[in-house]
Structure 1
Amino acid sequence: MGARIIFIPTLAWNVLLGKVLRIRHWWDFIDDQVIVGAFPFWFDVAAMSELGVQAVVNTCNEYGGPVKQYDHFGIEQLRVPTIDFTAPSLDSIQRGVAFIQQHVEQGHNVYVHCKAGRGRSATVALCWLMAHRDMNPEQAQEHLLSKRPHVHSTLPARTVVKQYWSTLQDSDEQVSAED
């Protein structure tokens, strides 16, 4: 309930910083094909399409996304609703990482977002970097901060990130044992 109450004021703050004062970028490429960003408004979708975005991971619980505009531009959306100021579930991260990688392998650009592009979406992106860019949590965090300086600086400390890293380590150990 608290996240819903402060949704509009915090969205307004993000708009002020990102679109009015331009202190923060609304979105940033963290890789050649993956973008982490804030809440896309309907009028942002044409620019996203021009950037080659063909897929979106929406981590917002409070916002379904500009679906009509996505349909118009042929953009596929995966929605993994996560309450603001909380981390995505392990299942949501696994689904998001798989969706991102599926589209990257097809040569598509992928936009991963939450309201501000700092927490929920950055958590999914960090886990994708760990899984598919051979980074540990701290390296992925450092990489994210170098590309998008205002992501939360404590993402590797999130329980779900530790769980995801553990699943990656377990699968690596299993592959090594099979070799």
Structure 2
Amino acid sequence: MERLFTERRWWDAIDEHVLLGALPLPWLVDDMAQAGVRAVVNTCIEYGGPVTGYERHRIEQLRTPTLDFTSPCLEDIERAVTFVETHRRQERTVYIHCKAGRGRSATVALCWLVAHRGLTPEQAQAHLETVRPHVDKQLWRRQVVQQFAERHLSRA
């Protein structure tokens, strides 16, 4: 019973400027802005995000609408990873999210670690599990992750 009531953090830091988390409800936007979030990658097809709050805080949003329990397509992952890195290089914090911060968004975060930290998919998976233990444990095995890694690790 104790496990049912364990509190999870809404988001976790993957890097100094990259956060991975659950969908931001309107009442969280002020907290996000206070945490330095200036950009959002929204992988939800089912939720457009608290756009009014984003506008109020000048938070830029990139949408890569993906069905729950599926992986984003390779093109969307590429766009999202580029968006994250562009903002991170300007020392702007980016919040990557799906509904629970376990699958779709974690796939994007894992691919960002592969492309910009030079990690293998397995190493990136281990890092994600360290900072956000409830991510899907098999992300690194997804075909799109392997395709992404093949593209990016061969450039290194």
Q: Shorter-normalised TM-score: what interval?
A: over 0.9
Which residue of the other structure, out of 67, 81, 85, is the alignment partner of 1:97? 81
Distance of aligned partners of 1:170 and 1:157 in 2 relative to their CA distance in 1, 3 Å threshold: same
Which residue of the other structure, out of 67, 73, 82, is the alignment partner of 1:83? 67
Residues 114-125 of structure 1: pairs in structure 2 closer than 5 A: 114-125=98-109
1:39 corresponds to 2:23 = yes
1:113 corresponds to 2:111 = no
**Equivalent position of 1:60 in the other structure:** 44
Larger helix fraction of residues: 1
Structure 1 residue 22: Cα displacement: 5.2
**Equivalent position of 1:169 in the other structure:** 153
CA-to-aligned-CA distance 1:101-122 (integer Å, 9 cap, x gap): 0000011000000000000000
Residues 12-27 of structure 1: pairs in structure 2 closer than 5 A: 21=5, 23-27=7-11
Structure 1 residue 159: Cα displacement: 0.4
The DSSP-based 3-state class of the residue aligned with 1:166 is: helix
**Equivalent position of 2:125 in the other structure:** 141
Q: Report % sequence identity.
A: 55
- Listed as ranges, the gaps of 5+ residues in structure 2 are none
Q: Quote the Cα distance in structure 2 between the aligned partners of 1:65 and 1:117.
A: 14
Contact 2:98–2:104 at 8 Å: present in 1 too?
yes
TM-score, normalising length from structure 2?
A: 0.95
Structure 1 residue 169: Cα displacement: 2.9
Q: Quote the Cα distance in structure 1 between the aligned partners of 2:119 and 2:62.
A: 24
Q: Quote the Cα distance in structure 1 between the aligned partners of 2:119 and 2:25.
A: 32
The DSSP-based 3-state class of the residue aligned with 2:15 is: coil
CA-to-aligned-CA distance 1:85-132 (integer Å, 9 cap, x gap): 000000010000000000000110000000000000000000000111
**Equivalent position of 2:142 in the other structure:** 158
The DSSP-based 3-state class of the residue aligned with 2:46 is: coil
1:49 corresponds to 2:33 = yes
Aligned length: 153
**Equivalent position of 2:53 in the other structure:** 69
The code of the aligned residue for 2:11 comes to W
